[in-house]
Structure 1
Amino acid sequence: MDKNVKELNVNELLPGMILAREIRKNGVKLLDKDVILNSKFIEKIKKVDYLLQVLVYDNEDEDKQIHDFIVKSIKKLNEKEKVFGEISNKLDNICKEIEVNSKISMTELRNVQKNLLEESKDYSSTMRSIINGRDVDEYIYRHSINVGILSNMLGKWIGLSVKDLNLLTYAGILHDIGKIRIDSKILNKKSKLTSEEFRIIKTHSVIGYEIVKHIPYMDENVSMGVLMHHERCDGSGYPLKLKDEKIHTFGKIIAIADEFDAMTSNRVYKKKQSPFKVLEIMQEEALSKLDFKFWSIFLNGMVNCYIGEMVKLNTGDVAKVVRMDINDISRPLLLVKDDFIDLKERKDIFIEDLI
């Protein structure tokens, strides 16, 4: 056996370990080589065969593992960025057609949605792409693509039907389409908006509703999601100041996806924040403004995505996320080389970003 590899019983596995060989059972592949184990993967293996012996990389080869993982992650990220960039450009062209002819190509829009859903099946690389830092001028259309993906993810976790998932994804993609009728000087303003400029910005959800409502054969639920994505459960949102059950389900879902992507992206007036910090901030807001049931599902889904992932720390170190506490999202238990670090006890260390 390779000296950089060790064989462990499935009960000895820990989140953060990296598979040195694919796992198969009765000819069926369970997990690929080089997968970073999280608690969900470990439980999956145990259910199949609790006596299974698994090959993982030895910690002595940690530096090489990290280097190889980063190289592979960057390659995957670049591939995803290229694909999602192309989808964003297609959405850009659709919006330009609306500006010129006040018409929308349902065929082109359907292709955007289809491509988006196909390319976002791999949650891990998709999430890295969503929170990846990019130029501010890429924000508007890429944000719409990201919100479509995140809304679809949350809709799946909630258990929506296939039909509703498709409609929800359309609503996510089109949620900000009303901004094509807002002066770009206001949209791209770096300084604080005046009260009048903010009033104008807030009209985008009604403008978007009117645009989507007139798309031939488009389901009404899509336009309602576009209209209500800035409503908040305590009545503090806009444009109708609706509360709780009066807000359309799509509006509640898109509200969560919209906030998460906006806060993890570079914008003209604000730099992106760590996705862990964003979840922590949104957790506080969820108590009154966001639908708490949907938020809880989103939070647990994101936690499952992040456990076992590698992150960059402010110290310059690379670490693996071993365990997360939903009551203290930004301070998980980490594995740094062969040492465990609990960020709850190390206030001087924080996560800057996913790798």
Structure 2
Amino acid sequence: MSNISVNKLERGMIIDSDIFSKRGSLLLYKGFKIENPDLVSIVLRRNGINSVMIKDDETQVSSAVKESDRISQKILQEVAAFKEEFNKIVEDLEEDIENFTQTKDISKIRELDRGVELAKESESSVLTIFQLVEKIKNDGSNKYSDILQVSLISYSIGKWIDLDDAQLKELSEASMLSSIFALSDVDYENIHEIKGADTVSKAVLQSAITSRERNDGSGPMGLTNEQIPIYAKIIAISEIFYALTTNNEFYERMSVFDALKIMQSEYMSLLDTRILYIFLHKVANKYIGSTVRLSDGTSGVIVFVPENEVVLPFIKTGEGQIINLQSSQYKNNKIIEIL
């Protein structure tokens, strides 16, 4: 491999190591083939990067292709394993929720901690939790699988704001319980009637009860800002994001990036600003490498997410064309589906 100045990049060169911005966002992944050297050079220079490592010869290119094939096969296996475990949990969860609905006894819910277990198991996967959840959505969701998916998203946000393992477990349980309460029509004004409350921590119970609260006081209890537990604030972001990106009775599913745009423009005063900001910038980068379909019918892979406009990533088509959704040329084009 060779260390090449970004000013001397040429079409066909292959990046030999992941390249990150100063803030830790992935700019170019190892194995990325340069199709538009001028664009790549601009992106790198903007981030203070003056040189990059490039593969030297055809042997290395062939090796990169083989590695790509190996990773593709690994992804298929991991997705299949994830779906199998996910469906097992949902099957048990459905039975638990039916028991809870009849008894209003939290101790009857055996699966509260299965969300965090699945999330931990998925951390070593090639795909991110968000990408894995997207695979589940594409197969079709129901009210029981929705509960587990929101819990997985909540876990990811908790990791991003540096919650420890004990807190992540509580967060995942609170997320599951919040959704179960909503599905079972629990009356929060008579929450004292709920049995088995001593089987979860006070933080879990309070967060499950207050996850519909909003920072401006517009929630059902009128709580504001610091009155809302941190787990509840995270769950609120997860639930809204999931609702926007899933078909439901109120509106059709929108793309992840349209949902991020809505959250950026309409929810800043309703949700915790610090956590929402971290979420918006982190989640967009979790879809780098995902195949997407654009509104004009073009398909391609997300290869770069600009820090200044996370809802408008760069797309690489199968023909090697780079589509910059920020440019005037593509202002009427947008991502409509993640495949």
The TM-score with structure 1 as length reference comes to: 0.71
Work out the CA distance in 2 between the residues paired with 1:68 and 1:349.
33
Match of 1:144 among 144, 147, 150: 147
Equivalent residues of 1:314, 1:351 under 8 A apart = yes
Q: Which residue of 1 aligns with 2:331?
A: 347
Q: What's the offset of the Cα at 1:351?
A: 1.0
Work out the CA distance in 1 between the residues paired with 2:56 and 2:113.
42
Work out the CA distance in 2 between the residues paired with 1:65 and 1:311.
22
The equivalences for 1:281-320 within 5 A come to: 281-320=262-301
Equivalent residues of 1:209, 1:224 under 8 A apart = no
Q: Which residue of 2 aligns with 1:128?
A: 131
Q: Which residue of 1 aligns with 2:316?
A: 335
Equivalent residues of 2:116, 2:152 under 8 A apart = no
Work out the CA distance in 2 between the residues paired with 1:313 and 1:65.
28
Q: What's the offset of the Cα at 1:111?
A: 5.3
CA distance 1:351–1:74, change in 2 (3 Å): farther
Equivalent residues of 1:322, 1:334 under 8 A apart = yes
The equivalences for 1:160-175 within 5 A come to: 160-175=163-178
**What amino acid is aligned across from residue 80 of structure 1 in structure 2?**
F
Equivalent residues of 1:80, 1:125 under 8 A apart = no
Q: Percent identity?
A: 25
**What amino acid is aligned across from residue 109 of structure 1 in structure 2?**
E
The TM-score with structure 2 as length reference comes to: 0.73
Kindly provide the CA deviation profile for residues 236-284 of structure 1, in whole angstroms up to 9, marking residues without a partner as x.
12x2111111111111110001111111112233221100110110011
Q: Which residue of 2 aligns with 1:118?
A: 120
Q: What's the offset of the Cα at 1:141?
A: 1.6
Q: What's the offset of the Cα at 1:348?
A: 3.1
Gaps of 5+ in 2: 19-24, 31-50
Work out the CA distance in 1 between the residues paired with 2:56 and 2:101.
57
Work out the CA distance in 2 between the residues paired with 1:296 and 1:56.
42
Q: What's the offset of the Cα at 1:296?
A: 1.0
Give the root-mean-square deviation of aligned CA atoms.
Answer: 4.1
The equivalences for 1:149-160 within 5 A come to: 149-160=152-163
Kindly provide the CA deviation profile for residues 82-128 of structure 1, in whole angstroms up to 9, marking residues without a partner as x.
32122112211111121334434478235524532334323735322
The equivalences for 1:70-219 within 5 A come to: 76-105=78-107, 108-109=110-111, 112-121=114-123, 122=125, 124-132=127-135, 133-134=137-138, 138-182=141-185, 204=186, 206=188, 214-219=196-201
Work out the CA distance in 1 between the residues paired with 2:225 and 2:299.
42
Q: Are 1:220 and 2:202 matched, yes or no?
A: yes
Kindly provide the CA deviation profile for residues 297-330 of structure 1, in whole angstroms up to 9, marking residues without a partner as x.
1112112212343322233332222332455443
Work out the CA distance in 1 between the residues paired with 2:110 and 2:161.
28
Equivalent residues of 1:152, 1:169 under 8 A apart = yes
Q: Are 1:261 and 2:249 matched, yes or no?
A: no
Equivalent residues of 2:155, 2:168 under 8 A apart = yes
**What amino acid is aligned across from residue 254 of structure 2 in structure 1?**
Q
Give secondary structure in 2 for the equivalent of 1:175. helix
Q: Which residue of 1 aligns with 2:44?
A: none
Give secondary structure in 1 for the equivalent of 2:322. strand
Equivalent residues of 1:176, 1:205 under 8 A apart = no
Work out the CA distance in 1 between the residues paired with 2:110 and 2:79.
25
Q: What's the offset of the Cα at 1:212?
A: 6.7
Kindly provide the CA deviation profile for residues 52-104 of structure 1, in whole angstroms up to 9, marking residues without a partner as x.
664899999xxx99999888766644443332122112211111121334434
Work out the CA distance in 2 between the residues paired with 1:280 and 1:160.
26
Work out the CA distance in 2 between the residues paired with 1:235 and 1:314.
38
Q: How many residues align?
A: 304
Work out the CA distance in 1 between the residues paired with 2:13 and 2:291.
11
Give secondary structure in 1 for the equivalent of 2:315. strand
